[in-house]
């Protein structure tokens, strides 16, 4: 176990976040059991008030989850000097088996949290709470994810021993090892580039269709999810090397550093925004409900779709920038 202020902050913060998620979940389950929208009793009124508490808690948790995701990577980066062979966050995260699963789970939790907040927002726009059951059932999954994330993160920090030999980002993300990450780095840059631009263009095209006709939201959500994954792969495969101006450097974390003008933050933030709002558009498209719900969904959906398209467009522009205006050329 290594103890430093950042680790205390992350572990303590995650425990607190999980505790609040559990508290909110317990309240939600109580609401589910006694919920009766037609009743005007004192009890039902109290339950309706409690929904505000849950919404507020999860709105904060969404923000803190995103923050803790970046802080986690930042801390791994900060600690790399403690491990032989680790040259950045990529090496620190590989020190034990918990590092990468924690990172992936944190990202997934943030995405789910974002979708939940979108569904919750939609539900709150209607006077008769049409989505109360599905959305509170989704909370169970979300809380489990948060709890699991806390467990993995604690396991990661508890298992750290300074001086354990790890592979640095040079070997982890270089073409000849057998890991998944290296597999991504080793993908042919040309083909990945074509796949990336194709999915982005397709998503934007379907997005325009959704904006104009109001149909095809489900397909857009699916495409947005796929584009997010393809973008992450593209980031490791060829976008990062363009920013580093080094064909062998594929690390997705060094982009977050000062040396590269913190370009990683706008890149990841635009991509995450696009992913969450895109998935939200799709999820809203799947929802069926009373007329009150049908009335609010189309306008919300359009706005989310617009956000998602803007996010993907900004990400793609930033990814293309160094290819067009930089001196560095990556052969395929």
Partner 1 sequence: MKWIERQRAFMDYTLSSLWRRKLRNLALLMVYTLVIFLLSSVIFFTDALRKEAAAVLEAGPEMIVQRTVGGRHSLIPVAYAERIERIRGASSVRPRLWGYYYHQASRTNYTILVPETFSGPDDTVQTGGGVLRTWGALWDGRMYFRTHDGNSLFLLPTSAMSDGADLVTADLILMSEPTFRKISGVPEGHATDLVVRVRNERERPTVAEKIVRELPDTRPILREEIARTYAAIFDWRAGYVVVLLGSAVLAFFIFAWDKATGLSAEEKTEIGILKGIGWDTSDVLMMKFWEGAVVSVSAFALGAITGYVHVYFASASLFEHALKGWSILYPKFTLRPQVSAYQLAVLFFLTVVPYTLLTVVPTWKVAVTDPDAVMRR
Q: Shortest gap between Cβ of 61 and partner 1 (angstroms)?
A: 8
How far apart, in whole angstroms, are the C-alpha atoms of residue 64 and residue 15?
Answer: 12
By the rule CB under 8 A, 49 interacts with partner 1 = yes
Q: Do 113 and 65 form a contact (C-beta atoms < 8 A)? A: yes
User: Candidates 65-73, 128-136, 141-149, 167-175 — which segment interacts with partner 1 by CB under 8 A?
Assistant: 65-73
User: Candidates 57-65, 269-277, 294-302, 307-315 — which segment interacts with partner 1 by CB under 8 A?
Assistant: 57-65
Q: Binding string to partner 1 for residues 109 to 138, with x set by CB under 8 A, is what?
A: ---------------x--------------
> Of the candidates 32, 35, 70, 218, which one interacts with partner 1 according to CB under 8 A?
70
> Of the candidates 35, 78, 183, 226, which one interacts with partner 1 according to CB under 8 A?
78
Distinct helix (H) and strand (E) counts, the chain? 12, 0
188: nearest Cα among 253, 243, 241: 241
User: Phi and psi for 320 in degrees, rounded to 5?
Assistant: -80, -30
> Of the candidates 2, 148, 208, 300, which one interacts with partner 1 according to CB under 8 A?
2
187: nearest Cα among 227, 240, 140: 240
Residue whose CB is less far from partner 1, 248 or 332: 248
Applying the rule CB under 8 A, the residues between 203 and 262 that interact with partner 1 are 262
Q: Binding string to partner 1 for residues 3 to 42, with x set by CB under 8 A, is what?
A: xxxxxxxx-xx--xx--x----------------------
> Of the candidates 39, 41, 56, 248, which one interacts with partner 1 according to CB under 8 A?
56
Q: Do 243 and 331 form a contact (C-beta atoms < 8 A)? A: no
Q: Binding string to partner 1 for residues 147 to 186, with x set by CB under 8 A, is what?
A: ---------------xx-----------------------
> Of the candidates 26, 37, 43, 60, which one interacts with partner 1 according to CB under 8 A?
60
In three state form, how does the secondary structure of 207-269 look?
A: HHHHHHHCCCHHHHHHHHHHHHHHHHHHHHHHHHHHHHCCCCCCCCCHHHCHHHCCCHHHHHH
Max CA distance (Å), the chain: 70
Q: Compute the 3-state secondary structure of the chain and give helix, strand, coil in percent, each to the nearest 5.
A: 75, 0, 25
CA distances from 181 to 84, 250, 322 (A): 20, 9, 23
Q: Shortest gap between Cβ of 71 and partner 1 (angstroms)?
A: 5
> Of the candidates 29, 32, 71, 232, which one interacts with partner 1 according to CB under 8 A?
71
Residues that bind partner 1 in the complex, under the rule CB under 8 A: 2-10, 12-13, 16-17, 20, 49, 52-53, 56-57, 60, 64, 67-68, 70-71, 74-75, 78-79, 81-82, 84, 124, 162-163, 262
């Amino acid at each position: 176990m290594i103890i430093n202020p950042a680790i205390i902050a992350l572990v303590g913060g995650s425990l607190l976040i999980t505790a609040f998620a559990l508290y909110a979940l317990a309240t939600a389950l109580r609401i589910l059991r006694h919920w009766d929208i037609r009743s005007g009793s004192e009890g039902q009124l109290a339950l309706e008030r409690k929904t505000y508490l849950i919404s507020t808690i999860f709105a904060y948790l969404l923000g803190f989850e995103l923050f803790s995701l970046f802080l986690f990577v930042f801390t791994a980066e900060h600690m790399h000097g403690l491990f032989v062979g680790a040259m950045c966050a990529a090496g620190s995260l590989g020190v034990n088996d918990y590092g990468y699963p924690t990172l992936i789970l944190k990202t997934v939790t943030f995405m789910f949290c974002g979708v939940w907040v979108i569904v919750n927002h939609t539900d709150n726009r209607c006077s008769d709470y049409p989505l109360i059951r599905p959305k509170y059932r989704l909370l169970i999954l979300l809380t489990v994810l948060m709890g699991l994330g806390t467990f993995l993160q604690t396991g990661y920090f508890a298992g750290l021993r300074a001086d354990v030999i790890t592979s640095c980002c040079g070997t982890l993300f270089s073409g000849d090892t057998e890991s998944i990450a290296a597999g991504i780095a080793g993908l042919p840059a040309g083909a990945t580039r074509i796949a990336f631009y194709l999915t982005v263009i397709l998503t934007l095209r379907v997005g325009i269709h959704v904006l104009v006709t109001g149909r095809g939201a489900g397909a857009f959500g699916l495409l947005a999810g796929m584009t997010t994954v393809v973008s992450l792969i593209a980031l490791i495969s060829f976008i990062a090397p363009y920013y580093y101006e080094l064909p062998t450097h594929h690390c997705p974390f060094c982009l977050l550093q000062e040396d590269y003008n913190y370009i990683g933050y706008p890149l990841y933030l635009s991509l995450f925004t696009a992913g969450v709002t895109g998935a939200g558009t799709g999820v809203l498209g799947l929802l069926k409900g009373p007329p009150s719900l049908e009335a609010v969904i189309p306008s919300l959906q359009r706005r989310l779709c617009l956000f998602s398209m803007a996010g993907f467009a900004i990400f793609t522009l930033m990814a293309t920038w160094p290819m067009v205006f930089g001196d560095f050329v990556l052969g395929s």
